[in-house]
Structure 1
């Protein structure tokens, strides 16, 4: 494999024909998705943030309820963070929601609520990386900017037979340069969405539907017969596993102890049942140190496993009773009140075991 940092479009590659075939196909088959009703930059922005690392079918109901709740940049900017997180609840990768909220506040404060169309202004907003920047500029503002995600890298690696490891950060720049060379300047919105749609529906990771591909005649990997060998992607490091006790603690009124997670880090500002890292320290002693109250453990039963992108949590559920009324951290709520707070999916798995 060549170790290069640049890639040149083949001299005989018919860029205009490739653009025409891709755009014509896209316009004829594009899915009826709620964020495609118009090119409103705010709607495009919200959809692209939600679609990061999340399937389209999963995003659709979240997008609809989110836009109903926060239909304009002003509505989102004026919302409380806990309300935003509650609307995002279950979608995962919650830093996306917090960054979107912060960035929209900046749009309202600095740009009168209008999403800026200038590249230098847009890329300074929190949470907008190269892909989201290109998606907004091309889809909403018809600017010929590349929007390169995993789908696009897979399509272009096959079309141009690019043998660079897409797991390496520097490789993305190669694909951005390639897309910038071949993108339609007449309809960049349809071109970029066409590449995304092609990767999602036809040029799939396994068993690509080459017989249905609108750009088959342009595809070098198809010509060579090794399309399933591309893209090249090195394996990720094995995920770390962390073991916890999940403490299901009631007071004498039958209320449950929950707490808000720190404002930084994984699952920031969401709510949870207390999680105790497993160690040689007795649960009762650990709880006394951290919460200032005595605890009586009733039983250990039930296991919950949750996989994040970089770590796996293994949680053993512990049912316990707190002595007295005062604790130093957290708050007690009824089972009915739990639905008022934004919880991450891992905590809902715990709820399924106890409610």
Structure 2
């Protein structure tokens, strides 16, 4: 018989919330995406944002998953922009393959009833149960958060001739326009946003990160040159991770006519060198799932996946 998905009752909400908070904190700490209290602060921020009215929050749906008299687990859902997001999927038992198949069927049916075209779930590297749910069921990797820690002491490759220098205010104007447009295209291509919503989101993030242009606090922007010719750009945001500086690559780009010459690897090594100069002992980045060549490059240099977002058309 099919699984039974039932809204969580109000009298069980507090227990669910306590268990979910602990689970989400642990997943972030075990994956390495967040350290110590950073994970606690991040999870508390998510819970406050997505559950402002607690159990009565209209934009969230928390369901129990039952198979006859057996409680399989719970699933927390939220819909936005034509996507049904699985915010959290927690199993009380190790589900069978049949139970996982039935769960996906139920979620697909729910998405169709809500006229939602895609399912999305973000999973940390330590979430083995969640990965068992997506594997072999048609989900595709939409985006990946990657981390390199500790920062290796490898120097930029001198033989490549690539040099990075601080970006000038004059160059920033054209960079900002191109970077915003390219990020919007990638957001749309990832399947998470429509073209219109991707443009809005890209513009929002650009204003958030670079309110004062090239002089924005905590932002380091560079142009990359070989033999005095510009061949790429690099943008590093300086964050805090476990109380220490953490570098995050917000944009790294090699000009289209300069690719497949090894400059991408050289620029990534230069980014690590700049991160060390800024006092960071770790570096992270985000990459879209369709960018397989970049993913291969990052993994060849030791970057590991700490979180992946999966999408499935329903």
TM-score (norm 1): 0.22
Task: Choose between structure 1 and 2: higher helix proportion.
Answer: 1
Q: Which structure is larger by alpha-carbon Rg, 1 or 2? A: 1
Task: Choose between structure 1 and 2: higher strand proportion.
Answer: 2
Higher relative contact order (CA 8 A, sep 6+): 2
